[in-house]
Amino acid sequence: MAENTTPQTGSVLVSLAWLAVVIGVVGNAVASFSPHAESIQLGLSALTAIGIITLVTNWLRRR
């Protein structure tokens, strides 16, 4: 019997949310060394916030 190897939508969403958080945090750390990176930092902060909101929303739905 074949196994179902299709990833669940929730796990893909969580993986993408974690990726967004990591990229946002690391990107902000790197961009902080540049004196004129305010717009980049703002975008990366938004990416981080979206990832965190997605993770919290997913966690609340599972409770």
CA distances from 31 to 17, 21, 24 (A): 21, 15, 10
Q: Which residues contact 47 (CB under 8 A, 6 or more apart)?
A: 20, 23, 24, 27
Is the pLDDT at 5 greater than 90? The verdict is no
Task: Judge whether residue 6 has pLDDT over 80.
Answer: no
User: Measured over all CA atoms, what is the biggest interatomic distance in the chain, rounded to whole angstroms?
Assistant: 59
Query: In this predicted structure, what is the pLDDT of residue 4?
Result: 58
Q: pLDDT higher for 53 or 5? A: 53
Calpha distance 11→16 (Å, rounded): 9
